[in-house]
């Protein structure tokens, strides 16, 4: 299995970006390879294409599955497992948002909720609690909204996104001062 230079560039870029995205180089590469492949690939295909160890590929695929970013299937008359990235880019986007939220935001939201149950007893803590409350409110509002939007049909979301800041004009009881 050899990868065209065109694909190669994309794969290497994903590898490099991986660390910024909270995955490692090889996981980024595996995902990129599957993303551009027109066919599902088995683990050995990936080993050949990327020059990684078999065990590393196995672990990388497990991680990608834990992110729900790859699906696996079996082909007829072949006992190996084949992996692919979902076709639908909207589905990918939705899952990515959900998983990142689960990992990066939900724990903090729940910590904030817990902390805000307590009654602060000093001025210092009253100030801190107020700051936590602001953070909690903003995060909660934003994530709730994201949830809501994700439930809309992609076509609707596209309309909304294309509208951009223009939505403000549609908002009920708008007041002229906010632009």
The residue ranges that bind DNA (CB under 7 A) are 19, 23-27, 42-44, 51-56, 58-59, 61-62, 74, 79-81
What's the closest the beta carbon of residue 68 comes to its own copies, in angstroms? 17
Burial (CB < 10 A; 0-12, 13-18, 19+), residue 114, is exposed
DSSP assignment string, 16-67: HHHHHHTS-HHHHHHHHHHHH-SS-EEHHHHHHHHT--HHHHHHHHHHHHHT
Compute the distance between CA of residue 88 and CA of residue 64 in angstroms, rounded to an integer: 16
From residue 97, give the alpha-carbon distance in Å to each of 31, 103, 104, 126, 155: 16, 10, 10, 33, 18
For residue 13, how far is the Cα from the chain centroid? 17
Query: Looking at beta carbons only, is 78 or 124 nearer to its own copies?
Result: 124
C-alpha R_g of the chain: 22
To the nearest whole angstrom, how small is the minimum distance from the Cβ of residue 84 to DNA?
A: 13
Q: Which of 21, 47, 61, 63 binds its own copies (CB under 8 A)?
A: 21
Pick from 76, 77, 79, 165 the residue near its own copies by CB under 8 A: 165
As a whole number of angstroms, the distance between CA 166 and CA 178 comes to: 12
Q: Which is nearer to DNA, 31 or 94 (CB)?
A: 31
Minimum distance from residue 143 beta carbon to DNA (Å): 25
Q: Which residues bind its own copies (CB under 8 A)?
A: 4, 6-7, 9-10, 13-14, 17, 20-22, 35-36, 38, 89-90, 93, 103-104, 107-108, 111, 115, 118, 120, 122-125, 127-129, 131-132, 134-135, 138, 141-142, 144-145, 148-149, 151-153, 155-156, 158-165, 167-168, 170-172, 174, 177-179
């Amino acid at each position: 299995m050899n990868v065209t230079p065109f694909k190669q560039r994309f794969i290497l870029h994903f590898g490099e970006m991986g660390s910024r995205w909270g995955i490692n180089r090889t996981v980024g590469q595996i995902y990129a390879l599957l993303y551009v492949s027109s066919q599902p690939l088995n683990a050995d295909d990936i080993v050949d294409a990327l020059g990684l160890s078999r065990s590393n590929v196995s672990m990388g695929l497990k991680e990608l599955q834990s992110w729900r970013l790859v699906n696996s299937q079996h082909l007829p008359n072949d006992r190996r497992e084949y992996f692919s990235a979902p076709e639908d880019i909207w589905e990918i986007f939705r899952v990515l948002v959900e998983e990142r939220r689960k990992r990066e935001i939900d724990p903090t939201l729940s910590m904030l909720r817990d902390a805000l149950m307590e009654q602060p007893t000093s001025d210092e803590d009253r100030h801190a609690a107020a700051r936590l409350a602001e953070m909690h409110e903003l995060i909660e509002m934003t994530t709730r909204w994201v949830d809501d939007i994700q439930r809309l049909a992609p076509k609707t979301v596209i309309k909304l996104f294309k509208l951009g800041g223009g939505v403000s004009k549609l908002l009920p009881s708008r007041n002229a001062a906010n632009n």
